[in-house]
């Protein structure tokens, strides 16, 4: 270097920040109805029943009409008592199902509901000669901790 020249310094680059927690981050909900949020679910103990709701994709036929209800009932009966998962009561509405279930823990409930969803999807898709998803979203569940809560759910199911 010659006299009077300045020493060169390495420049710094400003990189854009990606990822991390920030407002508005994450997958955006799709569809007209709000989806079941992906948050940690409540713990389950075997002594408390669980009310599970399964919503069907919009635009499909009524679950209560014609042969659909018979096919649905056969699928529920076939998957109603597996590996500690039990369906005690059910109610089929036009576009969703209500289940009153028993399971010793969260994993058994999840496996039981997922297996039931697959069984029902295959059966109804075969009947309706269609392909694709039948259920619109994750299942919604609520742990029933008192006899009064169970009574209210049963009343709701059968009215």
What's the predicted TM-score (pTM) here? 0.75
Q: What is the distance between the alpha carbons of residues 145 and 134, in angstroms, rounded to a whole number?
A: 30
Section 95-104 average pLDDT: 94
**Among residues 62, 52, 67, 16, which one has the least CA distance to residue 138?**
52
pLDDT in tens, 117-149: 999 999 999 999 999 999 988 889 999 999 999
**Among residues 38, 40, 16, 42, which one has the least CA distance to residue 27?**
38
The dihedral over CA atoms of 122, 133, 142, 151, expressed in degrees to the nearest 10, equals -50
Section 7-29 average pLDDT: 74
- Confidence (pLDDT) at 71: 94
Q: What is the distance between the alpha carbons of residues 133 and 121, in angstroms, rounded to a whole number?
A: 7
Q: What is the distance between the alpha carbons of residues 44 and 123, in angstroms, rounded to a whole number?
A: 29
Q: What is the distance between the alpha carbons of residues 75 and 121, in angstroms, rounded to a whole number?
A: 9
In the chain, count H helices and then E strands. Answer: 3, 5
Strands 85-92 and 140-143: unpaired
Section 72-76 average pLDDT: 94
Residue 42 confidence (pLDDT) above 80: no
């Amino acid at each position: 270097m010659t006299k009077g020249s300045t020493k060169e310094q390495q420049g710094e680059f400003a990189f854009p920040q990606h990822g991390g927690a920030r407002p508005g981050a994450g997958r955006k909900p799709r569809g007209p109805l709000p989806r079941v949020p992906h948050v940690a679910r409540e713990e389950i103990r075997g002594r408390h029943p669980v009310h599970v709701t399964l919503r069907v994709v919009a635009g499909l036929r009524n679950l209560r009409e014609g042969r659909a209800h018979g096919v649905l009932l056969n699928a529920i009966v076939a998957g109603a008592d597996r590996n500690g998962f039990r369906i005690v009561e059910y109610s089929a509405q036009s576009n969703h199902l209500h289940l009153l279930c028993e399971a010793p823990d969260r994993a058994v409930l999840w496996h039981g509901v997922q297996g039931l969803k697959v069984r029902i999807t295959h059966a109804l898709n075969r009947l309706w000669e269609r392909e694709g998803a039948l259920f619109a979203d994750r299942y919604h569940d609520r742990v029933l901790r008192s006899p009064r809560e169970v009574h209210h759910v049963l009343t709701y199911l059968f009215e």
